[in-house]
Amino acid sequence: MKNKLLNPFRYMPIRQATCWGLVALILSAVLCWQAGLRITSLTQINFAGDALWVATARQVIVWVLFSLVLYAAGVIFSKSKVRFQDVAAFNLFARIPFDISLLIFLFPQVRSVMGLLMDNSLNTALQYMNLLTIVGLVSSVLCVWYMVWSYMAFSEATNLKGGRGVAIFAVAWIISYLGSPFLLMWA
């Protein structure tokens, strides 16, 4: 049971990963729409807000871009046969921790304090240091969970493991992170 929680990609069928990932994508798009959040890159958001179809399109763009970059890396560097549907499905499921991290913005006080930080009102925001610490810790844990799952998904889908796999994944993540704002400008 412990291995299934740490690395579900070894045991999960592609269809199941796709279904759970699509449910999370749709729910997070609705959350972004209702909470006034906007995905601005692979792992960044702001409070600009979007229509539901734009929020959904932004989620899909980020997912497809990252999947394509991971797939290309797998095709180039893996000695195994790499299928796009495996990479895309596992990548979509691995994004669930990031989607969960968006739930913290449903709390009005968190939104207010984060708004102060975005408006450069640092002195006022520091009055809520306990809240900032909790948000920071929760966000850090979920970010690490997302990164670990993303690597495990990539590793299982492409059979690139160990230090070489980590290095290839890191470069693919950086490329996707830097490229995503340019694609999201058009959404």
Label residue 159 left, alpha or beta by phi (over 0 means left) and psi (-120 to 50 means alpha).
left
Query: pLDDT per residue over 11-67, tens digit each?
Result: 899 999 999 999 999 999 999 999 999 999 999 998 888 899 999 999 999 999 999
Residue 45 forms beta bridges with which residues?
39
Q: Are strands 38-39 and 45-46 parallel, antiparallel or unpaired?
A: antiparallel
Query: How far apart are the C-alpha atoms of 15 and 166, rounded to whole Å?
Result: 26
pTM of the predicted structure, to 2 decimals: 0.90
Query: pLDDT per residue over 63-117, tens digit each?
Result: 999 999 999 999 999 999 999 999 999 999 999 999 999 999 888 888 888 888 7
Query: How far apart are the C-alpha atoms of 180 and 4, rounded to whole Å?
Result: 31
Please tell me whether residue 45 adopts helix, strand or coil conformation: strand
